[in-house]
Amino acid sequence: MKIGLEVHVALPTRSKLFCSCSTADADQPNTNVCPTCMGLPGSKPYLNGEAVRIAKSVCIALGCVVNGSISFVRKTYFYPDLPKSYQITQIDGAIGRDGKIKLENTEIRIRRVQIEEDPAKLIREDRYSLIDFNRSGTPLVEIVTEPDIKSEKELKEFLYVLWSILYYLGVDIDKEIKTDLNISLGSNRVEVKNVTGIKNLLDAAAYEASRQASLLSRGNEPVKETRRYDERSQRTEPSREKESEEEYGYIYETDLEDYDTSKIKTGDIEADVRKTAKSIASRNGLDYDTIMQLVAFDRHSLSLLNHGLNSTAYDPSTILNVVEAGKRFRSSVNEKSFSLIAEYIKAGVQIDKEIMERIRKGLKPDYKTPDKLKIREFISKELENDPDILKRYRKNPKVIDFIVDTVSRKYGLPQKSVAEEAKKILTGEDD
Amino acid sequence: MEKSEFERLLKICRLDLDKKEKDRLKDDTEEILKYFDQISKVDTHDLRPAFHPIELQGQTRKDKVIRFDKSERLLKNTKTHRFFVLGPKV
Amino acid sequence: MSSLRDFSKKKKPEDYYVNLIQELERINGRLHAFNEISHDVDRGFPISVKDNICVDGMEATASSRMLKGYKPPFDATVVQKLKDAGFSVLGKTNMDEFGFGSFGINCISPARNPFDEERVAGGSSSGAAVAASIMKYHLAIAESTGGSISAPACFCGVVGFTPTYGVISRYGLIDYANSLDKIGFIARSSEDISDVFKLSVGKDGFDSTCADFKPLKKEKDRLVIINQLYERLDKGIKASFDRSVRRLSAKGFKIGYEDVNEIGYAVPAYYIVSMAEASTNLAKYTGFKYGEQLTDFSMDYNSFFSASRNVFGEEAKRKIVLGSFIRSASVRSMYYEKALKVRRLIINRLKEILDGSFIISPSMPVLAPKIEEARAFTPVQNYSMDVLTIPPNLCGFPSISLPSDYVGGLPTGMQIIGDHMEDLSILSFGKEWEKDFIYRFKYNIGEI
């Protein structure tokens, strides 16, 4: 068996690859967008230096030769999620080449590491498609391996090693990873395009391996083709679209230039982060491994912890939540707001856009307990929204905890007062 | 250029032309390619391709978030559904 | 005399702008210089913007049906800079669709030449040149890829200036070919252009190919004529050009002749590079998001895209097909990569000449043809008309087209090419020429 992968992972920058829009999750589609990432006529790309820096660290971590001068190409193809109908990516001028990942018994060669932009998110509907450009322009690296993986076991091991290497660069492939899988048991190459997530990738490989093996056992050679993986049926099937190399018609992207990478400082990133994490841990009496997991070499989170964790002691779950909020509201969480966010979290308040607005204004959580009537109104509203709850409560009185939790989180109320009122309503005590 | 090759090219370009337009475009394409072929006579060994006419610096941007302040107007040019942009079926 | 200063000094009647717009609309009905005329202008020096350059809230169609209704929510950097300096956008000017043409006829209603309305205005910045030619006080923001400023400026008897590649930001320009596109100006004098040029340059955080303008200052009194180009001139144009050269010689310029054997390859190399880039730029037009929009989303996306792309004009389709072909893997090195090397060869050779001289030629090898004549040209005949304007454009050199003579009532132009960053030097050359050569105009709309 021969397996080669093209793995796409997102780089943890604050802004997109070619424009200044935020890469943070948004509550609404098409809000972190501008003329450039929507591909409007008249817009131009401008390269994010931080994406190049992180990509360079990825290359170093994968033992690649880092090209001293990099450039981009236009890969032209048509799909509704591709705003300009070409993707800005790299080939000859790619940032890295000729690397390798060591596994226990073998070595997987890395052919190329290239920087490219993510297309928009597309939702298929029966009679149209829905497109969200928030994701459009997110910086990715594509890691292209040689077809050196020889078994499903090696594939698993490779992914685990790749995951742990990238994790310390702040690149979390467990979260969102898209892979093109080349797999052949016979002499023809079969490509399974666009497999999302690690689990699906392993399942797709397993399915293909057995499909091709069974064809071969009957004396049939699997045909050279492009297939897609269907999550629901856990099978691969022939893809409708046939794309050949010819169709991409690569040309140099002349809206951009050649970029010198030799002067970009990556330092010994791993050592730097370890040092800072250790210092945070010792200062605050926290577990070093917890810190490492929290920051995952995400410089923003690291600096948040480093500067925000000074005075107060927090329990790990609060810290986790602050860092999560930091990741979500990347542009507006800073060291100053750290303690404030922690306070809201301790009060059981969910951090959302409105709360962030309060935090930006420096407002503390509102501890004043609203009058009982108000609390009861909130609880009744919740019960109306979900009439089944009462039935479930009758079967299992513990359901009350769920209601209390929901209401107190939603309205930022102390759990105790909500519990008191909820009990009265549900047991019918006050009638 | 073979007819089938030309048909494939039109497909790659997402152009769906009627017969008259197709025939004319095919003739034009052949005439222009013949005209282009003359550059093969130029000796260009040792020369680097000039992607740009002048040497450029290779400037990058700082990783700073700047909101596009008229983002709601971006959607004015499009048909939308629950803030999503509507597109053709895939 | 700078009309910018002249205009600001003059006391204008209260209804000046209302009358200006009214008169302009009346004449525009015949000449088709503008795609859209603004009714909101009540102050400032009136400028126009080529319709492939974005002005916040105004339609930007690049004279293509594909972009009908597209209203960008942003200003091009150059527009922003000039608005900030107090200029007012009077309207969007007509052009060949997406800039694809040398005569201004590749669009719905071609602009007409003010000197003879049966003739073309030149392209692709046809409307920009007509606007400058018919208004007493006006400056047109135009754009050139292969000669789209010089050609119409020459045919309409106005000054057309194309700067060094990359000194004016292209942010807000609807791309034709990104490594060739340059925003420039058309006006009635080199002095006006010089003033506005200085306001328009400078690095821009939205276009990374835009570089600092570092003017190169070299004293030059030598003008070089390239033999291989001179030989190709139409008889009448040759005689007229000779007269201009004699005038320059009398002014004290030394005239030299040089061979550039490779110059003939500039035109095919230019068209290969520009078509390869254009075909990718045109890929984004797929019938949703902006401009031409189909509504039957239940069609399969491939059929949907193809159906919408039918509204492209003939030359646009030609560029898509040829451009896609020459960048395909099997022939890329033969056409696209080869052309880029030819470009390097020509840059190197012309730089040798420009080291101590300017290069001079007529701007166009013919007089403005009649619209019907121009329509009858084959594509290759058409492309060959750019033989004089393509060398500086392919190489990113600044150039200026100055009205140089009048033959049978039609203006002719001469083109001066400088080295990279010699923009101000060739504008000074223009000012020198204008000291004793008086330009003629058929209209003076907005005269005070």
Give me the DSSP letters along A198-215.
HHHHHHHHHHHHHHHHHH
Helices and strands (H, E) in chain B, number of each type: 3, 2
Say yes or no to pLDDT of A245 above 50. Answer: no
Going by C-beta distance under 8 Å and a sequence separation of 6 or more, which residues neighbour residue A42? Answer: A35, C53, C54, C60, C72, C74, C76, C171, C172, C173, C174
C317 part of the active site: no
Q: B78 vs C290: CB contact, 8 Å cut-off?
A: yes
Q: Are residues A273 and A255 in the same domain?
A: no
Pick the residue of A70, A251, A256, A258 with the most C CBs within 10 A to test the interface with C by mutation: A251
Cα distances from A191 to residues A2, A6, A205, C272, in angstroms, run 12, 10, 10, 34
Q: CA of C315: which chain B residue's CA is closest?
A: B25
B39 touches chain C (CB under 8 A): yes
Q: Any idea which of A8-22, A346-360, C296-310, C322-336 has the lowest mean pLDDT? A: A346-360
More confident residue, A112 or A294: A112
Put simply, the answer to whether C343 touches B76 (Cβ < 8 Å) is no
The residues near A373 (Cβ < 8 Å, ≥ 6 apart) are none
pLDDT of A146 strictly over 90: yes
Nearest to C206 by CA among C178, C169, C177: C169
Given 3-state DSSP classes, what are the helix, strand and coil percentages for chain A, each rounded to the nearest 5?
40, 20, 40
Q: What is the pLDDT of residue A271?
A: 67
Dihedral of CA A93/A261/C181/C422: which sign?
A: negative
- Give the residue among C63, C95, C70 at the shortest CA–CA distance from C312: C63
pLDDT confidence of residue A407: 82
Q: Which two tokens stand for residue C244?
A: 């201009």
Residue B50 distance to chain C (closest CA, Å): 5
Of C48, C64, C148, C425, the catalytic one is C148
Residue segments in chain C with a per-residue pLDDT below the cut of 70: 1
Residue A260, CA distances (Å) to A65, A92, A334, C429 in order: 14, 15, 32, 38
Q: Could you say which of C50, C81, C92, C220 is catalytic?
A: C50
Residue of C nearest to A87 (CA): C280
Task: Determine the average pLDDT of the residues in A270-287.
Answer: 72
Please determine, for residue A242, whether its predicted confidence score (pLDDT) is greater than 60: no
Kindly report the nearest CA distance between residue C281 and chain A, in angstroms.
8
Per residue in A279-305, pLDDT (tens digit) is: 777 776 777 777 776 665 455 667 677
Q: Around A408, how many Cα atoms within 13 Å sit in the side-chain half-sphere?
A: 23
**Which pLDDT does position A382 carry in this prediction?**
81
Measured at the CA of C250, the angle between CA C247 and CA C252, to 5 degrees, comes to: 120
C60·A42 Cβ contact <8 A = yes
* Contacts with C18 (C-beta within 8 Å, 6 or more apart), sequence order: none
pLDDT at residue A198 is higher than 80? yes
Q: How many domains does chain A have?
A: 3
Question: Could you tell me if C52 and C98 are in contact, meaning their C-beta atoms sit under 8 angstroms apart?
Answer: yes
Mean pLDDT of B69-76: 86
Output the pLDDT for position A244: 47
Residue-level pLDDT at A403:
84
For residue C99, what are the domain limits?
3-219+361-434
Q: Residue A330: is its pLDDT beyond 70?
A: no
Match 């925003």 to its residue by tokens. C183
In a shared domain, residues A156 and A93: yes
Q: Residue C260: which residues within 8 A CB-CB, separation 6 or more? A: C226, C227, C228, C346, C349, C350, C353
Residue B61 has pLDDT above 60, yes or no: yes
Does residue C124 have a cis bond before it (omega within 30 degrees)?
Answer: yes
Active site residue C200: no
* Cα atoms in the 13 Å half-sphere on the side-chain side of C48: 32
Residues A171 and A104 in one domain: yes
Q: Are the C-beta atoms of residues A158 and A108 closer than 8 Å to each other? A: yes
> In this complex, is the C-beta atom of C377 within 8 Å of any C-beta atom belonging to chain B?
no
CA dihedral (A303, A304, A308, A313) in degrees, to 10, reads -110
Q: C358: which 2 tokens? A: 């300017």
Q: Are residues A147 and A210 in the same domain?
A: yes
3-state secondary structure of C108: coil
Q: What is the DSSP letter of C205?
A: T
**Residue A48 in tokens:** 């994010």
Q: What pLDDT does residue A165 have?
A: 78
- C92: annotated active-site residue: no
The predicted pLDDT at position C91 comes to 98
Whether residue A148 sits in one domain with residue A11: yes
ipTM confidence = 0.97
Nearest CA to C232 out of C278, C263, C268 is that of: C263
User: How high is the mean pLDDT of chain A?
Assistant: 85
Q: How far is CA A200 from the centre of its chain?
A: 16
**Residue of A11, A57, A73, A133 to mutate when probing chain B, most B C-beta within 10 A:** A133
Q: Do B65 and A330 touch (CB under 8 A)?
A: yes
Whether residue A365 is contained in a domain is answered as: no
B40 and chain C in contact, CB less than 8 A: yes
* Residue B63 and residue A107 in contact, taking contact as beta carbons nearer than 8 Å: no
Place of tokens 């989180």: A409
Examine the pLDDT at A246 and tell me if it is beyond 60. Answer: no
User: Of C173, C288, C336, which is closest to A42 when you measure between CB atoms?
Assistant: C173
Phi first, then psi: what are they for A200, rounded to 5°?
A: -60, -35
Segment holding C223, helix H or strand E: strand C222-226
- The answer to whether residue B88 is domain-embedded is no
> For C438, phi and psi rounded to 5 degrees?
-95, 125
What one-letter code names the amino acid at C434? E
Contacts of C341 in chain B (CB under 8 A): 42, 44, 47-50
Pair C90, C33: CB distance under 8 Å = no
Are the Cβ atoms of B61 and A257 closer than 8 angstroms? no
Do A356 and A379 have their domain in common?
A: no
Q: Between chains, do B83 and A28 touch, taking CB under 8 Å as contact?
A: yes
Q: Hey, are the CB atoms on A29 and B75 less than 8 Å from each other?
A: no
Measured between CB atoms, does C109 come within 8 Å of chain B? no
Contacts of A20 in chain B (CB under 8 A): 61, 64-66, 68
In total, how many domains does chain C have?
1
What tokens appear for A290 in the block?
A: 């917890």
Residue B66 touches partner C, C-beta closer than 8 Å = no
Task: Evaluate whether residue A366 is within a structural domain.
Answer: no
If one compares B71 and B9, the residue with the highest pLDDT of the two is B9
Check B87 against A129: CB less than 8 A apart: yes
Contacts of B60 in chain A (CB under 8 A): 46-49, 52, 259
Average pLDDT of the residues in A329-355: 73
Name the closest residue on chain C to residue A129, using Cα atoms: C297
* Closest alpha carbon to A176 in A124, A230, A121, A227: A121
**CA–centroid distance for B29 within its chain:** 17
pLDDT band at A370 (very low <50, low <70, confident <90, very high): low
Q: Which domain holds residue A285?
A: 269-360
Cα torsion C12, C18, C22, C24 to 10°: value is: 50
| DSSP string for A211-225 | HHHHHHHTT-PPPPE
Interface contact flag, A34 B64, Cβ < 8 Å: no
Cα torsion C354, C358, C364, C365: sign: negative
Task: Among A236, A260, A284, identify where a domain stops.
Answer: A260
Domain boundary among A260, A282, A298: A260
List of chains touching C (3+ CB pairs within 8 A): A, B
Closest CA to C318 of C365, C366, C383: C383
C residues 174-203 near A, CB within 8 Å?
174-175, 177-179
Give the CB-side neighbour count of residue C80, counting CA atoms within 13 A.
17
CA distances from A200 to A74, A164, A176, A177, A356 (A): 29, 19, 12, 10, 36
Task: Name the domain boundary from A194, A229, A260.
Answer: A260
Q: Tell me the angle at which helices A415-427 and A372-385 cross, rounded to the nearest 10 degrees.
A: 60
Percent of chain A whose predicted confidence (pLDDT) is above 70? 86
Hey, of B2, B37, B54, which one would you mutate to test binding to chain C, going by the most C CBs within 10 A of its CB?
Answer: B54
Residue A118 lies in a domain: yes
* Burial C416-444, CB ≥16 within 10 A → b, else e: bbbbbbbbbbbbbbbeebbeeeebebebe
Q: Which residue of chain A is at minimal alpha-carbon distance from C295?
A: A128
Question: Which of A22, A127, A330 minimises the CB distance to B89?
Answer: A127
Search chain A and give the residue with CA nearest B66.
Answer: A20
Quick one: A182 and A38 in the same domain? yes
**Does one domain contain both A173 and A69?**
yes
Number of domains chain B contains: 1
Closest CA to C120 of C102, C138, C132: C102
Q: Do A246 and C330 touch (CB under 8 A)?
A: yes
Residues of B in contact with A79 (CB under 8 A): 90
Query: What Rg do the C-alpha atoms of chain B give, in angstroms?
Result: 23
Domain that holds residue B15: 1-39
pLDDT at A317: 72
Are A405 and A360 a contacting pair, CB within 8 Å?
no
Contact B63 A252 (CB under 8 A): no
Chains that touch A (3 or more CB pairs under 8 A): B, C
Which among C71, C306, C343 has the least Cβ separation from residue B50?
C343
Residues A317 and A415 in one domain: no
CATH number at C80 reads: 3.90.1300.10
